[in-house]
A and B are shown apart, each in its own frame.
Chain A
Amino acid sequence: MKKWHWIALGLLTAASLIAEFIFLTDYPKEHWWSYVPAFYILWGFVGCAGIIFISKWIGKLLLQKKEDYYDAG
């Protein structure tokens, strides 16, 4: 990742936060998470980390086997 990549991500995030807290304040709050500020930032980050850790954990615990599992006698 180059420096400008991080700058671009920062700008995108800043733009989304400006939109959320300035232009979307009157947007109807239809779901419980509509009341959580910057919820989708949280959901994206925590969701992604959760998917990785939980899947890996299930994999190690139960599912992952050697590649010749079905061929080995």
Chain B
Amino acid sequence: MPAEMMIPPVLYMIAGALLLPLIPKSIRSAAFILFPLIALAVIWSFPDGYLIKTSFLGYELILCEVNRLTRIFGIIFALIAVIGGVYSYHIKETAHQSAALLYAGGALGVTFAGDYFTLFIFWELMAVASTYLVWARRNGEAEKAGIRYLLVHLFGGSLLLAGILIQVNQTGSILITSLVPDGSISSWLILAGVALNTAIPPLHAWLSDAYPKATVTGAVFLSAFTTKSAVLVLIKVYAGWEILIFFGVMMALYGVVYAVLANDIREILAYHIISQVGYMVAGVGIGTEMAINGTTAHAFSHILYKALLFMGAGVVLHTTGKSKLTELGGLAKAQPVTLWLYMIGAFSISGFPLFNGFISKSMVVSAAGEAHFDTAMLLLLLASVGTFLHTGLKLPYFTWWSEPKQNITPTKPPVTMIAGMALAAFLCTLFGVYPTLLYDYLPFAVNYQPYTLYHLTEAVQLLTFTFIAFWLLRGKLAGEHLIALDTDWFYRRPARFVQKVFVDGVNAAFDYTDKIAVKIVQVMVKFARNPLVIFNPAEKGTDYHADEHRASTQLLTILIIFSFVVFAIVSLLF
């Protein structure tokens, strides 16, 4: 094994993040792309079964465990970092780009981690690095959303850590292995921590809260890593836990309902991350080889088309400064290339034949049918109606085709933003047309054919009549100047009360104590200037002077000593 291959891929990304500030500005953006490219090449060249181990505090750590499952996730994470690098080529803020590399590196670290200690370290690295991609927007909303995002993720990390510690205590092993639903507290705590990053309701609101407020390019990275790396952990640990089918189907529909109510285009897309990840969670719950293949393929496809959709919405925001449907409209003539590249992402997520969503989503849905989860299958098909309705129809219609609400003249986007979109669009189409390019690398041998007459008929009927219903009811989907309350209400609304009691209250008490302390000091200072004022008020206003006050000081000292002597004699006698 060549020496350079002994380095886990995450370290190339971390090295990139650290080196980036030292690289001349003129080539920094190109250098950004280089590091994930190296990581991609290294992951590609890893043989199956490849392990990098080390020991720490008596435990054996597996820093890098390569198998068919981790390799395909590693490849797509590195690939999307490359595409994101092209899209954000114009960004010159080094901290932003370093944070993006660290975040992508964290995702690779989680992907290849074979033990919980390594997993936890990179899990937290992702949380911290991704927070910066929200804060870097540099406005009040982003600042507050970033703090909420970080606190929620630290809470999730604490659940994960608590579960890990209990598990290590009970089993003596820190290796990541498949768990059975045995009711142990550790497995449920770990599941809760992972579920938070997977954005399973009710632990999902951080996503729809923070992603729409992140930077234009930051949202592209955000859409790719956190939820999908958590899905990978679910596959590794919780495959076959049937409760996940319920949660998966529920989140697929949950995202759809909220996307109807959302006004911000990136919020619509954020809710559809939750919806799409629902397919993956359901696939993990089904747990058959076909379902795990479907989940993996859908994660791969989803990362590509969701990044493309966020890139399209990002171009709109970058060139108009607006992201609300109530302010957009009529941009089709000014942005035909952006529109049609976006539409490739929309066709993909909606499961149009010849695009990558069709070859992966249908595999999860078919796996549900094959395993006789008929209701789940039907509801996942319903969620896919909702997906086309929002990302394929509502968002593009009210952004590009409908009458403009304001007179907007978009600026020209950097050519590299369009190049990033084109790259993602090319891959969405490539994998849609040649599914074996993806199927050949899935965890299990694939015995599934997406392009059958039955599947095509099903897709054509569903999509055509979703479109017709949208067209007839499109007036009901226009944006409104409203927000929709989500589960973040439970920590945002009481925040005012918490602020009053624990921040304002404590501040008031501190202020009061401070005032009293200052007053005491002021009085003490007066006495310190001339302590004789205690015994002789006539001294008030004069400072103590050794020569002038010698006589009175001597008298006072004698009086004190005399008092002590009298007190001592009296004590001895009685």
Q: B470 near A16 (CB under 8 angstroms)?
A: no
CA–CA, A40 to B382, complex, Å? 10
Stretch at the interface among B156-164, B215-223, B404-412, B479-487: B479-487
CA–CA, A19 to B457, complex, Å? 7
Q: A63 near B485 (CB under 8 angstroms)?
A: yes
Task: Indicate if B469 sits at the interface (CB-CB under 8 A).
Answer: yes
In A1-39, which residues have CB < 8 Å from any B CB? 1, 9, 12-13, 15-16, 19-20, 23-24, 27, 30-33, 38
**Given A43-B381, A63-B485, A69-B485, is A48 in contact with B480 using a C-beta cutoff of 8 Å?**
no
Q: B464 near A12 (CB under 8 angstroms)?
A: yes
The proximity string for B residues 481-510 relative to A, scoring 1 for CB distances below 8 Å and 0 otherwise, is 111111000001100100000000000000
In A53-73, which residues have CB < 8 Å from any B CB? 53-56, 58-59, 62-67, 69-70, 73
In B454-469, which residues have CB < 8 Å from any A CB? 454, 456-458, 460-469
The residue in A15, A30, A55, A56 that gathers the most chain B C-beta atoms within 10 A of its C-beta is: A55
Which residues from A are CB-within-8-Å of B477? 52
- Of chain B, the residue at the smallest CB distance from A9 is B464
**SS class, residues of chain B in contact with chain A:** helix
- Of chain A, the residue at the smallest CB distance from B488 is A70
Task: Indicate if B396 sits at the interface (CB-CB under 8 A).
Answer: no
Q: Smallest CB–CB gap between A24 and chain B, Å? A: 6
Task: Indicate if B345 sits at the interface (CB-CB under 8 A).
Answer: no
Q: A49 near B473 (CB under 8 angstroms)?
A: yes
CA–CA, A64 to B477, complex, Å? 14
Q: A51 near B386 (CB under 8 angstroms)?
A: yes
- Of chain B, the residue at the smallest CB distance from A30 is B369
Task: Indicate if B378 sits at the interface (CB-CB under 8 A).
Answer: yes
Q: B257 near A52 (CB under 8 angstroms)?
A: no
CA–CA, A19 to B382, complex, Å? 22
Task: Indicate if B395 sits at the interface (CB-CB under 8 A).
Answer: no
CA–CA, A51 to B369, complex, Å? 23
| Of the residues B258, B457, B482, contact of A65 by C-beta under 8 Å | B482
Chain B, interface size: which category? 35 or more
Which residues from A are CB-within-8-Å of B457? 16, 19-20, 24, 40
Q: B260 near A51 (CB under 8 angstroms)?
A: yes
The residue in A9, A12, A38, A63 that gathers the most chain B C-beta atoms within 10 A of its C-beta is: A63
| Of the residues B260, B458, B462, contact of A55 by C-beta under 8 Å | B260
Q: Smallest CB–CB gap between B305 and chain A, Å? A: 20
CA–CA, A44 to B464, complex, Å? 8
Q: A69 near B260 (CB under 8 angstroms)?
A: no
Q: B385 near A44 (CB under 8 angstroms)?
A: yes
The residue in B465, B482, B486, B493 that gathers the most chain A C-beta atoms within 10 A of its C-beta is: B465
Q: A48 near B461 (CB under 8 angstroms)?
A: no
Q: Smallest CB–CB gap between A43 and chain B, Å? A: 6
Task: Indicate if B246 sits at the interface (CB-CB under 8 A).
Answer: no
Q: B261 near A55 (CB under 8 angstroms)?
A: yes
Q: B260 near A65 (CB under 8 angstroms)?
A: no
Q: B261 near A63 (CB under 8 angstroms)?
A: yes
**SS class, residues of chain A in contact with chain B:** helix
Which residues from A are CB-within-8-Å of B545? none
Q: Smallest CB–CB gap between A6 and chain B, Å? A: 9
CA–CA, A63 to B489, complex, Å? 10
Q: A44 near B369 (CB under 8 angstroms)?
A: no
The residue in A16, A20, A30, A73 that gathers the most chain B C-beta atoms within 10 A of its C-beta is: A16
CA–CA, A33 to B257, complex, Å? 24
Q: A19 near B483 (CB under 8 angstroms)?
A: no
Q: A47 near B382 (CB under 8 angstroms)?
A: yes
Q: B261 near A59 (CB under 8 angstroms)?
A: yes
Which residues from A are CB-within-8-Å of B461? 13, 16, 20, 38, 40-41, 44
- Of chain A, the residue at the smallest CB distance from B140 is A71
Residues of B within 8 A of A (CB): 256-258, 260-261, 369, 374, 377-378, 381-382, 385-386, 389, 453-454, 456-458, 460-471, 473, 476-477, 480-486, 492-493, 496
30 CB contacts below 8 A, A to B, read A9-B464, A9-B468, A12-B460, A16-B461, A19-B457, A24-B454, A24-B457, A27-B454, A40-B457, A40-B462, A43-B462, A45-B468, A47-B381, A47-B385, A48-B386, A48-B389, A48-B465, A48-B470, A51-B256, A51-B257, A52-B476, A55-B261, A59-B482, A63-B486, A64-B261, A64-B482, A65-B483, A66-B481, A67-B481, A69-B483
Residues of A within 8 A of B (CB): 1, 9, 12-13, 15-16, 19-20, 23-24, 27, 30-33, 38, 40-49, 51-56, 58-59, 62-67, 69-70, 73
New A-B pairs, 13, CB < 8 Å, besides A47-B381, A59-B260, A63-B484: A16-B460, A19-B453, A44-B462, A44-B463, A44-B464, A44-B465, A46-B469, A47-B466, A52-B260, A55-B260, A55-B261, A63-B486, A65-B484
